[in-house]
Structure 1
Amino acid sequence: MPHATPKVPGRLFGLFCLASYLLSLSYGATFLLSLLIGSRGGNEHDAGSVISAAMLSTFAAVLVSGHLSDWLGAPRSIALFGLLLAAASLGFALTPGFGSLLLFFGLLLGLGWGVFYTLGPIIVASLVSPTQRAKYFALLSGSMMTGIGSGPLLGRAATALGWPVTSAFFIAAAASLMGAGLFWRLGARLTGAQATSAARISWRATAQVLGSRAVLPIIMVGLGGAVFGGLSSFQTSYAAGRSLDYSLFFIGFMSAAISSRLLIAGFVVKRDPLRASCLLSGLMLGSIVLFAFGVHSGAGYLLAALMLGVGYGLTYSVINGLAANEAPPGTMPQALLLFSLAYFIGVFGFPLLAGKIIVERGMPALLLTVLAVAAQNWLITVARLLWRRSRERAAQAA
């Protein structure tokens, strides 16, 4: 019989979640880049270019993360590349103007975040039994989402105290150093947390996955990432144009995403995944409609953020399971790797287009573009439900 994975000690996993929270602050702080670069004479297109630079290095990070884990162990690989998150935050704060040097720090951000985002869940999977994974994945994602949401709130707190927005990046850098240090110390205690399967991507496996039904949730996570990246990266510009406080967005989104993942994700993932993804992606679409046409006050702004947090946060969990379950036999690790890559294309790649749209056409044009992306995402689920129903009717008729 295979050896059952023991339950991870609560204190150990608590330190793991704390370290994850600290590292996630650096990525969350990038949502302030539009504000920071704007204060230096740049515009949203410049900010989008910096964020999208991370997309290229993230690919490299995801593809080599398994080899790194074989060499150093997953926790210490995260610790090493967590230093790059600290360096990126310091670079954003200290670089004058908005020149090409910021693109370099965007590349560092992608390397650090890609390794952490890929290996973190694999560590959890190696620590707990399959029956415990849903619970511990929810705790990990809640920790990461809290860190991501706290990053821009640091900027709002700095502004309220009369400090420059760069203060948020300095704090994020210090937090990443602490997080990296925690992961390094945890390395000896998180034994067996390797990621050999992440290293085994091939053209053949990729073709198998993309030729199966798993390609649909992979496309969906890319589209959902584009919605999240496009809105979050330029939320400071959106709020300024409507005389609103951008912290309302991040408070609403973060609280809804975390609470829904921790409180009702276990219930949702047990439902019919196609119906659940249709309902949740429809809720996300409704939030974009509200952002585009219905936000006229702080209350409406907060409501739109809450809807996005629930819709986006839970859709991700559902389609992640679909990607794993619909992958051809023997290709589940590759399907999850492609799922992560598609997410990074959306969340890091779309801001480049979004910034260009804002500069050339204005914020309303961006909102209509994001609305079209969200509608496409929802229509995939509608089409899948209709196709399944037609097959069921054909089977009954036969």
Structure 2
Amino acid sequence: MPTAIPAVSNRLFGLFCFASYLLSLSYGSTFLLSLLISSRGGNEHDAGSVISAAMLSTFAAVIVSGHLSDALGAARSIALFGILLAAASLGFAMAPGFGDLLLLFGLLLGLGWGVFYTLGPIIVASLVTPAQRARYFALLSGSMLTGIGSGPLLGRLASALGYPVTAAFYLAALASLIGVLLFWRLDVHLRQVPSASIAGARISWRATARVLSSKAVFPIIMVGLGGSIFGGLSSFQTSYAAARSVDYSLFFLGFMGAAIAGRMVIAGWVVKRDPLRASCLLSGLTLGSILMFGYGVNDSVSYLMAAVMLGIGYGLTYSVINGLAANEAPAGTLSQALLLFSLAYFIGVFGFPFVAGKIIVEYGMTTLLHTVLLISLLNWLITAGRLLWRRIFATRATQSA
């Protein structure tokens, strides 16, 4: 791995982040599926089934994305599969009822989002030094979270202007097409930027075994648990807000605003700190936000505060553990570690909503919040346990010296 890589230009990276924002709107609009399907006579379980259909196709996306990247280039691969994001958004808006046709568009969403979400960090990792990764991962994930959070806000804006919720899906499709064009153009410019020499992006059983037997397995597990928290809360936030008599747009405004502000104001400080201590503190803040959602939300102000806590805690934790997964991967397995990191995230963010929807329908929202609380506690215990183990090991090393 090279000792120094010329910094990518701010203009080029800014355009890369803007294109990422546009593509992310398509996934963000899926948080309106529960509302859309309910208006067509379905329930949360039906919405969870559609979202979780994407989990199946993301497995294929993660496997083929490395081959696509090696053959076509990462940016051009994202552009090609970004077309599927636009098709999925159009399909959600135009499909009648809530039957099997929506499952097909869920599969298309998983393919498009899977390739984009997997190859985006690999592009960033190839452009910057290991010391810069956490900062640039924070900027990229901040752009993506902003797009994700903007999707549901489009639905709220459409409702306020008297348009149906499907208008948000049409706008997301248009944004995705613009993002596709930008990534197609970016491919030429990104190829001209001096980059890190990293191994090919293809995944193999041998590379998988090496990554999962290293310390990188811990951030990979954590991102899967974090994805479950985010997917479970966000996918059914319209149902939660209706039960608490609050406006669901406050959740996405608070979450998105905190995530953006966190990256602009706090991220520079966080990435200079010990990553294990930072992830412990931030995952603890995430745990606190889940406690607040479960027991402390009784009006719009407390609802907004819980969303802000989640935005800072979850949003910044993701950036930290993304950097950990890259930097703790064995030599020569950087791309594979990031592929597995993305795969674990997809299992959580797309797979858990199926379980969450079933829990809501059969046992109620309170049971779902208790389940998410347990997941959040486990997530915090992993990083707290790593810190404790490191301290014990350091103490023993000092005593034996």
TM-score (ref. length: structure 2): 0.94
2:284 to 274, 282, 289: 282
- Aligned pairs for 1:120-135 (under 5 A) are 120-129=120-129, 132-135=132-135
SS at match of 2:97: coil
Alpha-carbon distance in structure 1 between the residues aligned to 2:288 and 2:134: 27
RMSD: 2.0
- Aligned pairs for 1:30-69 (under 5 A) are 30-69=30-69
Q: 2:139: which partner in 1?
A: 139
Shift of 1:217: 1.4
Judged with a 3 Å threshold, the aligned counterparts in structure 2 of structure 1 residues 8 and 321 are, in CA distance, closer, same or farther, namely closer
1:381 equivalent to 2:386? Answer no
- Aligned pairs for 1:10-159 (under 5 A) are 10-129=10-129, 132-159=132-159
Shift of 1:135: 4.1
Structure 2, unaligned runs of 5 or more: none
Alpha-carbon distance in structure 2 between the residues aligned to 1:89 and 1:397: 60
Shift of 1:340: 1.1
User: Deviation digits for residues 208-241 of structure 1, max 9, x if unmatched?
Assistant: 2222222111111110110000000000000011
Q: Is the CA contact (8 Å cut-off) linking 1:44 and 1:356 kept in structure 2?
A: yes
Q: 2:308: which partner in 1?
A: 306
Q: Is the CA contact (8 Å cut-off) linking 2:70 and 2:200 kept in structure 1?
A: no
Alpha-carbon distance in structure 2 between the residues aligned to 1:130 and 1:397: 32
- Aligned pairs for 1:128-277 (under 5 A) are 128-129=128-129, 132-191=132-191, 197=199, 199-277=201-279
Shift of 1:123: 2.4
Range moving further from structure 2, 62-71 or 336-345: 62-71
Q: Is the CA contact (8 Å cut-off) linking 1:63 and 1:199 kept in structure 2?
A: no
Alpha-carbon distance in structure 1 between the residues aligned to 2:369 and 2:311: 17
Alpha-carbon distance in structure 2 between the residues aligned to 1:181 and 1:323: 30
Alpha-carbon distance in structure 1 between the residues aligned to 2:134 and 2:281: 21
1:292 to 294, 302, 306: 294
SS at match of 1:199: coil
Q: Is the CA contact (8 Å cut-off) linking 2:91 and 2:105 kept in structure 1?
A: yes
2:369 to 367, 370, 377: 367
Alpha-carbon distance in structure 2 between the residues aligned to 1:331 and 1:74: 17
SS at match of 1:164: coil
The aligned amino acid for 1:285 is: L
The aligned amino acid for 2:159 is: T
Alpha-carbon distance in structure 2 between the residues aligned to 1:277 and 1:2: 27
TM-score (ref. length: structure 1): 0.95
Shift of 1:140: 2.1
**Alignment: residue pair count:** 398
Alpha-carbon distance in structure 2 between the residues aligned to 1:234 and 1:143: 22
Q: Is the CA contact (8 Å cut-off) linking 1:256 and 1:306 kept in structure 2?
A: yes
Shift of 1:66: 2.0
The aligned amino acid for 1:88 is: A
Range moving further from structure 2, 4-13 or 27-36: 4-13
